[in-house]
Amino acid sequence: MAIPVPVSPLAAPLPELPPLAGVRLSAAAAGIRYQGRTDAVLMEVAAGSTAAGVFTSNKCPGAPVDWCRAALKGGKARMVVVNAGNANVFTGKAGRDACAATAAAAAKLAGCPAKQVFVASTGVIGEVLPHEKLVAALPGLQEGLSETNWEAAARGIMTTDTFPKAATRVAQIGDMPVRITGIAKGSGMIAPDMATMLCFVFTDAKIPADALQTLLSKGVGGTFNATTVDSDTSTSDTVLLFATGQAKHPRVPPADGNAARNRFLADFARKLEEVLLELALKVVRDGEGAQKLVKIDVTGAVTARSAKRIGMAVANSPLVKTAIAGEDANWGRIVMAVGKAGEPADRDLLSIGVGGVWMAKDGAVVPSYDEAPVVAHMKGREVEIAIDLGLGRGKATVWTCDLTHGYIDINGSYRS
Amino acid sequence: MAIPVPVSPLAAPLPELPPLAGVRLSAAAAGIRYQGRTDAVLMEVAAGSTAAGVFTSNKCPGAPVDWCRAALKGGKARMVVVNAGNANVFTGKAGRDACAATAAAAAKLAGCPAKQVFVASTGVIGEVLPHEKLVAALPGLQEGLSETNWEAAARGIMTTDTFPKAATRVAQIGDMPVRITGIAKGSGMIAPDMATMLCFVFTDAKIPADALQTLLSKGVGGTFNATTVDSDTSTSDTVLLFATGQAKHPRVPPADGNAARNRFLADFARKLEEVLLELALKVVRDGEGAQKLVKIDVTGAVTARSAKRIGMAVANSPLVKTAIAGEDANWGRIVMAVGKAGEPADRDLLSIGVGGVWMAKDGAVVPSYDEAPVVAHMKGREVEIAIDLGLGRGKATVWTCDLTHGYIDINGSYRS
């Protein structure tokens, strides 16, 4: 079913992933859709672990997203069950039943309430998930749980991803080191049918669920939510963050001491954002047909929110993305995309730069600009675009990839 | 510079275009960018003609758009000067001077104020328009003015359009026939650099400028503004409507009798909308790389505005458009696009149909649906998608084309 796609030229290697206290993982071949590869992943976190999550803004979310949203209200986690090949989206009551049955079976194995089991699915949409295959695989998955199975888990959640995606950092909390490790799959919409972006991040820090949720919600703004491959928001996007509490750092200050808590978690927040950004950029690097990673810095907008909207309008413009694929520093298309964003912009104050060279300033081309370094920059794997609105102090950075024949090949073929 | 592109498989023939009282046209080769073809068009309307216009919502509009917006305040017109090959966008003071100089020269020839001259440009962005070439061509253009030059004008404004676009209708005003004829160019962004959508519509009816503007503003809502090729809003989009007042129908009721005026102009409004829709669909039929024309009917939304937004989210989804190119009735992607629109939607009330067959209903696939007629429908040149939200009575229809390798070929190549 899947089209053989070569590994992305932008692929990033898997980092070394040491054990993280309180996390065990395993992967197995449950035969849900793919043959001859792992497609089911179980992730166990220590009793007492807290959880946070952010989910797709799509109004037609998959059944697993509904399940996770409800489960998250408890703030506690023990198990995560993930399958690849079937997204369990738009499957009605059968989809809800599949989530409940899977969670119940995993809960029984773990000896925990079903609401401490999180489920996620990725793959084809609109087909009923054969959850009995997943349930049947659970005992074997539990037996296989190990602290060292990070790569197996990162591979087991892939659909047509061309490389596994993980990131890890060490942060300081109260002078004690804690680790943050995450895995992710997807590239916006990389599967031939309907893909999903899934990301699971773990830490051994001991952080209350409300603080964890605040950190995650804030962290995705400038990372996952600042990237786009093709503007199509999946029905299954899910980022879950679990804290096992196994590290020996001092207690996190209570929520009513917000300033103290923020100071206490400042390094953790920074490193969490680094992990999220590295994972998000790995997803973009595996964007369908991507040949170039594109960074867009917007400055001088009226607000940060306005800057981000302008950046996303540029990042989602098919004309900008095809120009980048053609290695054409076509700043006119960038002007167009800035203007169509619907945000405050004044043509005669606008500046556009590529690869560090300002090509257009104050509403007209820079007469003396040297095209040679710009052309050389465009031929590289990473392209940097700078946009200054000249209006205020709002700024934002967003990332995307180019739009190539590969995207049409992957998405224009019949499902099976 | 332009890539040789075969005529669109969706091309529609040029209709017969009889003379329209009070309108004369001509085209000439001014050598602004293209060689060996006409690239300058002059259109003259009788003294006393009224004018209406709608323009791009892009915040970085071209200098000709600024000029037309200002000229329109007078509500009167005598001349329209159009050039192809250079859009006169993001050209600073030089661009404003080019508009003023061109309008002044045309006004001198016509013996009218410069504010009764409208200018429009289409083609490459960011290069100063060599308006002296355009001005030099004006006397010859004036000599060549003729009532029969509609096709020459429709061809002279093309950039990389693959066929000329025109539409004509006869409407009744107070039992008298009046004619409405329009020409258009573009396909969203068909030129390799930065294209524009230009449309010029003429009538011999005698309609005050304010009434004309109301008709036009209303008319574009369900026509031009309900179409999309690639979601990229040009900096130059312009629709101008001129009424020469040569027809002998009774006087249009004054504005303070709005209901009477509306009744009086009802047939004209209907026929104008038909002309605008035919021209808009011809632009979509010439969409970059288009192989299929796609009609999306949205019903059951909370409001008409919401229905249109949902329709446009589907029409702009790269995943939906590549699926259509692949002749894949991938309703899961349509669900995704409905959900990402940000408008009220309830997954469990949503229905999706293709080619008259409901494939998904009430939050799940229709178990008994017959895929054979759907597959056959997808293989045709015109694809119809139906989306019912099941929430209210809001409805809208929008049109787009599929996304194919042709789009990447056209837009991913270097400018020169």
C-beta separation of B171 from B270 below 8 A: yes
pLDDT by 10s per residue, chain A, length 416: 344 567 888 888 899 999 999 999 999 999 999 889 999 999 999 999 999 988 877 888 889 999 999 999 999 999 999 999 999 988 889 999 999 999 999 999 999 999 999 999 988 888 899 999 999 999 999 999 999 999 999 999 998 788 898 999 899 998 889 999 989 887 654 323 334 577 788 898 888 888 888 888 888 787 777 777 777 777 777 878 889 989 989 888 887 767 888 888 999 999 998 988 888 888 888 888 889 999 999 999 999 999 999 999 999 998 899 999 999 998 988 998 998 888 999 989 999 999 999 999 988 889 888 889 999 999 999 999 999 999 999 999 998 999 998 888 877 775 53
Q: With respect to residue B11, please indicate whether it lies within any of the assigned structural domains.
A: no
B319 and B273 part of one domain: no
* CA nearest to B62, candidates B125, B130, B132: B125
Give the integer Cα–Cα distance in Å for A240 and A314. 29
ipTM: 0.82
Q: Is residue A5 part of a domain?
A: no
Same domain for B214 and B142: yes
Whether A322 and chain B come into contact, CB under 8 Å, resolves to: yes
Q: Where residue B44 sits, what CATH number does that domain have? A: 3.60.70.12
Q: Are residues A159 and A245 in the same domain?
A: yes
Dmax (CA) of chain A:
71
Tokens representing A347? 């043509």
Task: Let me know whether A219 and A329 are in one domain.
Answer: no
- The reply to whether A274 and A297 lie within a common domain is no
**A272 and A180 housed in the same domain:** yes
Quick one: angle between helices B318-325 and B331-340, nearest 10? 160
Of A263, A285, A307, which residue constitutes the final position of a domain?
A285
The token duo for B229 is 């090729």
Please tell me the number of Cα atoms within 13 Å of B368 on its side-chain side: 0
Split at pLDDT 50, 70, 90, the class of B71 is very high
- Report A:128-187 residues touching B (Cβ under 8 A): none
Looking at beta carbons, which residues of chain B come within 8 Å of A58? 336, 339-340
CATH number of the domain encompassing residue A355: 3.10.20.340
Q: Do B360 and A414 touch (CB under 8 A)?
A: no
End-to-end CA distance of chain A: 6
A231 touches chain B (CB under 8 A): yes
CA gyration radius, chain B:
22
The pLDDT assigned to B5 comes to 63
Q: Which range scores top for mean pLDDT: A94-103, B264-273, B368-377?
A: A94-103
Based on the structure, what is the number of domains in chain A? Answer: 2
Domain for residue A176, yes or no? yes
Catalytic residue among B102, B196, B214, B235: B196
More confident residue, B10 or B236: B10
The pLDDT score that the predictor gives to residue B190 is 33
Q: Where do runs of H (alpha helix) occur along A78-221?
A: 92-110, 131-143, 150-156, 209-221
- Tell me how far apart the terminal alpha carbons of chain B are, to the nearest angstrom: 5
Residue B306 has pLDDT above 90, yes or no: yes
Mean pLDDT value of segment B131-145: 97
A319:B89 CB<8 A: no
Whether B12 is in a domain gets the answer no
A363·B338 Cβ contact <8 A: no
CA distance, residue A320 to nearest chain B CA (Å): 9
Residues 72-131 of A with CB under 8 A from B: 89-95, 124-127
Question: What is the spatial distance between Cα A388 and Cα B90, in angstroms, rounded to a whole number?
Answer: 15
In the annotation, is A159 catalytic? no
- Average pLDDT across chain B, whole number: 88
A42's enclosing H/E stretch is strand A40-55
Residues B329 and B207 in one domain: no
pLDDT at B2: 43
Q: What is the DSSP string of B211-241?
A: HHHHHHHHHHHTTGGGB-SSS---S--EEEE
> Does residue B4 sit within a domain?
no
Q: How many CB atoms lie within 10 A of CB B75?
A: 17
Task: State how far the Cα of A165 lies from the Cα of A12, in Å rounded to an integer.
Answer: 8
Q: Are B278 and B300 contained in the same domain? A: no
Residue B80: pLDDT over 80: yes
| A161, A185 contact by CB (below 8 A) | yes
Residues B47, B103 within the same domain: yes
Indicate whether A192 belongs to any domain: yes
**Of B240, B265, B285, which marks where a domain is finished?**
B285
Residue where a domain terminates, one of A285, A312, A335: A285
CA distance A87 to A33: 11
pLDDT beyond 80 at B234: no
Residues B103 and B240 in one domain: yes
Same domain for B331 and B195: no
Residues B279 and B313 in one domain: no
Taking 50 as the threshold, does the pLDDT of residue B194 lie above it?
no
Residue B56 lies in a domain: yes
Residue range B367-390: mean pLDDT, rounded: 94
Report the run of H or E that residue B364 belongs to, with start and end.
Answer: strand B364-365
Residue A14 domain-assigned (yes or no): no
Domain span holding position A354:
293-411
| Angstrom distances, CA of residue B289 to CA of A295, B102, B167, B262, B401 | 28, 34, 23, 40, 9
What strand order describes the sheet that includes A351-354?
A364-365, A357-361, A351-354, A382-388, A293-301, A394-401
Calculate mean pLDDT across residues B86-92: 90
- H or E element: which one contains A55? strand A40-55
User: Which pLDDT score is estimated for A3?
Assistant: 47
